Amino acid sequence: MSAFMNNVGALALMLPVTLKTAVEQKRSPSILLMPLAFASILGGMVTMIGTPPNIIIATFRQEQQLEMKTQALADASRQAAMRNEIATLKEKLGKSPKGDGAKMEREKLEEKIKVLGVALNKPPSQATVYFEHRKIKPEEFRPTAFGLFDFAPVGGLVALGGLVFVVFVGWRLIPKDSHKKPGLESLFAINEYITEVRVDDGSKLIGMTVGEVEKEAGERMTIFGFIRKDGKVVTPNVDNLVQEGNRYLLKADPVDLKGMLDEYNLRLTQEMRQRIDKLATEDTTF
């Protein structure tokens, strides 16, 4: 598909299919998404429209050919003009008087012919050399971009080799953590959930520093904000003590959050509960 449309668009079309397949087969989407991404890139190499770099190169080629044609035509026109001028000067030189009185005039004509001859014998431009080497007349040359399948001989072989590698070897190199089978809720949920909590009376965290709390919770929770009484959020210092009634912004996995609320006697703030209640009363479509 990515060979006949933009590879990013092809990837976007295949994403829902891939996610649905992962859910139905109870497999991690990671093991499918990474090969899908590589396949879309490899498919885009086959044709000119498959990937933006191919389109850019095709357009650049046409522009360069047009510049070369313009340069070659300008060179040919300039050389023809110099030849005509040399012929005219030689004709004047042949008709000029032979006496001493016309000697200065004859020397001027000879000098002009010499200068024009040097200019005419200068090495030609690269554009002129290109057309002469290929025996092409610049006026008959038509600048063209790469065709739809001009990339196929090289891109097709690279794509075929890449697909063979992905099918037989590449998928084995996907990180092992990507092979885990998540539930449906984990597939479509964000990895970390940001919420506001309040430290209740009797919490085991009271008297501990913020650094000690994060060490106690491990990777399950990160405290990245302290909500002051005026509602302003500041970054907490790791040495700040946790006190009853303190409000914090936490970042945690949704699965771990509920357990930590009970374990550490934390409660969602009133503002957070109001937001949740508002969402619960509204129509939500997934």
Q: What does the domain layout of the chain look like in residue ranges? A: 7-49+149-177, 52-140, 189-281
Q: What is the distance, to the nearest Å, from the Cα of residue 71 to the centroid of all Cα atoms in its chain?
A: 34
Superfamily for domain range 189-281: Regulator of K+ conductance, C-terminal domain (3.30.70.1450)
Residue 190 backbone class (left: φ over 0; alpha: ψ -120 to 50; beta: rest) = beta
Tokens of 55: 């389109």
pLDDT value at 253 more than 60: yes
Tokens of 166: 């992905």
Exposed / middle / buried, residue 240 (Cβ in 10 Å: 0-12, 13-18, 19+): middle
pLDDT tens digits along 34-48 = 888 888 888 888 988
pLDDT band at 188 (very low <50, low <70, confident <90, very high): very low
pLDDT value at 184 more than 70: no
pLDDT tens digits along 217-228 = 887 888 888 988
Residues in CB range of 126: below 8 A, 6 or more apart: 68
Residues in CB range of 23: below 8 A, 6 or more apart: 184, 187
Tokens of 10: 């092809």
The answer to whether residues 154 and 48 touch, using CB atoms and an 8 Å cutoff, is no
- With both helix axes pointing from N to C terminus, report the angle between 103-120 and 52-95 in degrees, rounded to the nearest 10: 160
Query: How much is the average pLDDT of 184-201?
Result: 66
